[in-house]
Amino acid sequence: MPPGRLYRVQGVVLKSAQMGEGDLLVTLLTRDGSKLRAMAWGARKLTSRKMGHLEPLTLVDLALSKTRGIDGITQAQSLETFAVLKSSLEATAKAFYLSELVDGFALEGGPNPPMYDLFLGALRAVQDSADDSAVVLRFQLNLLQVNGFMPELYRCVDCRRRILPGDHRFSVSLGGALCSGCAPPGAAIAPLSLNAMKALRHFHRNPAPDAPRLRIPPALYEEIKSLLDGAVRYWLDRDIRSAKFMEHVDGRKAKTLHPNPSTQGV
């Protein structure tokens, strides 16, 4: 597209960064599943009509102007603000985490429509049931799936034989489940319980974020989470910074929120 040409795009704002005196650098996941960075000049001035539409976690319709450098946002109109999600600390913390993962996997100029559907669906699921811990796990597994990093759950990654119930372990670097007979040298192999295996297969077969709720006891949650965290960290090759805050405000661990329990009031 030649410079100066206007075009429109819809997407979810993943993050925005203040630039210079009053400008905002916005990163979006567009509807085709690619990442787009664009500049809203003067957006932080109080009189600007754009700022409120460009908050992270907003589904927005943008008019952009092509430039030689980074494209400029000329108009912004929010289509869905996720106001209910943003009124819950747990849900907001989860949404930050989902956004950081998407920001990590999405590519500029690299369309991936299923990733957009997955992300939007997960945000809506977090909004509708902030206490459903399975939403994040389901999202992690299916984010790996739509980006081509789906862990193998049905056959041993080493001997290729069908994985039998109760006879399985897991290796992120080898790409999934292993039978107990296989132990390729040098690979880190973690235990994988039967219930964790069942849950992972359930998430894989029911990728829609509004799939039937699955009750996951805390210990099982921790097992699956650490396994999926390991896979995500392996493929992104970095830590997910917002994970710590998500865990910190997790309702089930709310006790740790008061840094000094002895100063707690009645």
Partner 1 sequence: MNQNIPAPAPVVRLIQELNRLPGIGPKSAQRLAYYIIRLPAQEAQELADAVLGVKDRIIFCSICQNLTEIDPCDICSGPRRDRSLVCVVEEPLDVLAMERAGFYRGLYHILHGVISPMNGVGPENLRIRELLPRLQDGSVKEVIIGVNPTLEGDATAMYVHRLVSPLGIKVSNLARGLPVGGQLEYADEVTLSRAYQGRREF
Site residues (CB under 8 A) for partner 1?
Answer: 15, 19-21, 46-47, 49-53, 55-58, 78, 81, 83, 86, 88-89, 92-93, 96-97, 99-100, 103, 241-242, 244-246, 248-249, 257-260, 263-266
Residue nearest to Zn ion (CB): 156
> Binder to Zn ion among 182, 197, 240, 246 (CB under 5 A)?
182
Q: How many residues does the chain have?
A: 266
CB 63 within 8 A of CB 73: yes
Torsion of CA 115, 84, 211, 190, to 10 degrees: 70
Tell me: does residue 194 bind Zn ion (CB under 5 A): no
Q: Return the SS3 of 5.
A: coil
93 binds, among partner 1, Zn ion, none (CB under 5 to 8 A by kind): partner 1
Type and span of the H or E element at 233: helix 218-236
- Report in angstroms how near the CB of residue 182 gets to partner 1 at its nearest: 38
CA distances from 98 to 18, 106, 124, 231, 243 (A): 21, 12, 12, 15, 9
| Nearest to Zn ion of 115, 157 (CB atom) | 157
250 binds, among Zn ion, partner 1, none (CB under 5 to 8 A by kind): none
Q: Return the SS3 of 204.
A: helix
Tell me: does residue 174 bind Zn ion (CB under 5 A): no
DSSP H stretches of helix in 129-217: 134-146, 194-205
- Report in angstroms how near the CB of residue 263 gets to partner 1 at its nearest: 5
> Binder to Zn ion among 79, 159, 219, 257 (CB under 5 A)?
159
Return the number of other C-beta atoms located less than 10 Å from residue 258's C-beta: 11
Q: Which of these segments, 51-59, 122-130, 155-163, 240-248, binds Zn ion (CB under 5 A)?
A: 155-163
Type and span of the H or E element at 103: helix 89-105
- Report in angstroms how near the CB of residue 52 gets to partner 1 at its nearest: 3
Positions in the binding site for Zn ion (CB under 5 A):
156, 158-159, 179, 182
